[in-house]
Structure 1
Amino acid sequence: MALLIFVRHGQSLYNLENRFTGTLDISLTLLGKEQAKSAGGKLKGYVFCMAYTSMLIRAQESLEIILKEMHVKIPTVKNSAFNERMYGSLQGLNKEETAKKYGLAQVEIWRRSYDVCPPGGESLLQTYNRVIPYYKTQIEPKLKMGQNVLIVAHGNSLRSLMMYLENISPVDIVKVNIPTGLPRVYDFNNQLQLSGVKYL
């Protein structure tokens, strides 16, 4: 039996300001740090062989706070495969103001659809196509050996992983939103078949 647990980073400054963040390197707010600390408290007692995160500071900082709260030190890998989806020319813009300019329906398509790219940006499909190969080569082998793995990343890189792990369709993933700072636990049997999923 092995566990995979992922956590979306705590609230960032651009989350607070309702801006498209994407690959911009934006730090956590005080609330974001508290959310990461809370996640670490919920994960006390879990034993991980390895932790993975993105190249972006808000995810790295969240992981650091989580491990500090757990009072553990484990090997950590940072890789751009887990970076947030790139929002192109929308990055840094206020979401409400962007909706006024382009229309709410268009902005929702850019934000939530599976295969439509925002201007100059990356679709969820493209995000999936970098997350899942990395997951299959780097993380699945550890789970097969019965090792527990922690991932701290971003809303869209983790939505991509959810699609793969839970067999969620491109239509249904549109409605999925991952809360910040809340650990999601995947329980696998010896054949790496999913036997349970829950938020802590």
Structure 2
Amino acid sequence: MLIVLRHGQSTANAAGLFTGVLDAPLSDQGIREAHTATVLLNLALPGERPPTTGTGSPAMTTAPAPAPAAAPVTLFTSTLTRARQTAAIVAAGLARPPVGCDADWRLNERNYGALTGRSKDDVRAEFGEEQFVAWRRSVAEAPPAMGDLLYDEFAGTALFRALPAAALNRTEALSDVITRVDAFLTERVDPLLACGETVLVVAHGNSLRALCAVIDGLSDGQIRDLNLPTGQPLVYRFNARGRPVPFGGRYLDSVTALAAALTLANEGGT
């Protein structure tokens, strides 16, 4: 089982900014979303649901039935603060703590180049709706590259000084993110799934769009239309041929998640 979780709302999300590699923390709402996601995960992970009586309430007077064997859970997160905060809240709240928790820069959010930190409303007003949507939603088109001043500002942070040079480009198309996420899946996730483990990936709207694109084999049009809301766990199970069942996975709280995804789409997307 593979579970993907977009971090809770960040302060930059709340402010309507192009966030990308901007290292914004969770907002208060984002912290609440991370805790809610943890509750959903505890209900979904094998062996974690409390035994119940025939009425559906927790058993109080009878000995609990043996829990099904629970696969080990390994947690991966990006190196950005909002994802690491979400992962820490989840790891601390899981009834069965992860056997491993590791950060991998290849899960970092897409670099929005010169748009980083700018208001989305301002960018839309300056460049027009068509260009705004192309920069946000297309697979192949990258935003304008960072200039030297902005690039050097990010390169000089403790975060990026500790990462490989490849972790910070001047801009990225979603196709670039798909390439690095695909390599991460092949190297780190596929071997664990093959051993029957459960993998939980906490990352970002675009790096998880890239992950879903690889797993589901999405077309460019399907990738463009995919929106992943914050704080909503999406579960993938796989058949004997390694294909996801069902296609596109299943949200643990489908009603809330799909409503939030529709709101995202109306705002211009993830």
TM-score (norm 1): 0.95
Among 176, 189, 200, the alignment partner of 1:139 is 189
Deviations 1:63-108 (A, max 9, x none): 1111222244321110110000000110000000111111121111
Say whether residues 1:54 and 2:68 are aligned partners: no
Report if the CA contact (8 A) 1:48-1:150 is conserved: no
**What does residue 180 of structure 1 align with?**
230
**What does residue 15 of structure 2 align with?**
17
Quote the Cα distance in structure 1 between the aligned partners of 2:223 and 2:243: 21
**What does residue 158 of structure 2 align with?**
none
Quote the Cα distance in structure 2 between the aligned partners of 1:161 and 1:48: 21
**What does residue 118 of structure 1 align with?**
143
Aligned residues between the structures: 198
Quote the Cα distance in structure 1 between the aligned partners of 2:245 and 2:96: 27
Quote the Cα distance in structure 2 between the aligned partners of 1:14 and 1:188: 35
**What does residue 199 of structure 1 align with?**
251
**What does residue 151 of structure 1 align with?**
201
Amino acid at match of 1:69: G
Report if the CA contact (8 A) 2:8-2:31 is conserved: yes
Quote the Cα distance in structure 1 between the aligned partners of 2:236 and 2:211: 11
Root mean square deviation of aligned Cα: 1.2
Quote the Cα distance in structure 2 between the aligned partners of 1:51 and 1:182: 16
Quote the Cα distance in structure 1 between the aligned partners of 2:241 and 2:194: 7
Report the secondary structure of 2:42's partner residue: coil
Report the secondary structure of 1:174's partner residue: helix
Among 27, 35, 38, the alignment partner of 1:37 is 35
- Per the TM alignment, residue 48 of structure 1 is displaced from its structure 2 partner at its CA by 4.2
Larger Rg over CA atoms = 2
**What does residue 103 of structure 1 align with?**
128
Report if the CA contact (8 A) 1:124-1:160 is conserved: yes
Quote the Cα distance in structure 1 between the aligned partners of 2:108 and 2:204: 7
Among 89, 94, 97, the alignment partner of 1:65 is 89
Gaps of 5+ in 1: none
Report if the CA contact (8 A) 1:143-1:192 is conserved: no
Amino acid at match of 2:221: V
**What does residue 85 of structure 1 align with?**
110
Amino acid at match of 2:134: I
Report the secondary structure of 2:185's partner residue: helix
Amino acid at match of 1:147: E
Quote the Cα distance in structure 1 between the aligned partners of 2:189 and 2:74: 9
Quote the Cα distance in structure 2 between the aligned partners of 1:12 and 1:41: 20
| Larger RCO (alpha carbons 8 Å, 6+ apart) | 1
Report if the CA contact (8 A) 1:54-1:60 is conserved: yes
Report the secondary structure of 2:26's partner residue: coil
Gaps of 5+ in 2: 46-70, 146-170, 253-270
Amino acid at match of 1:128: I
- Per the TM alignment, residue 166 of structure 1 is displaced from its structure 2 partner at its CA by 1.1
Report if the CA contact (8 A) 1:11-1:28 is conserved: yes
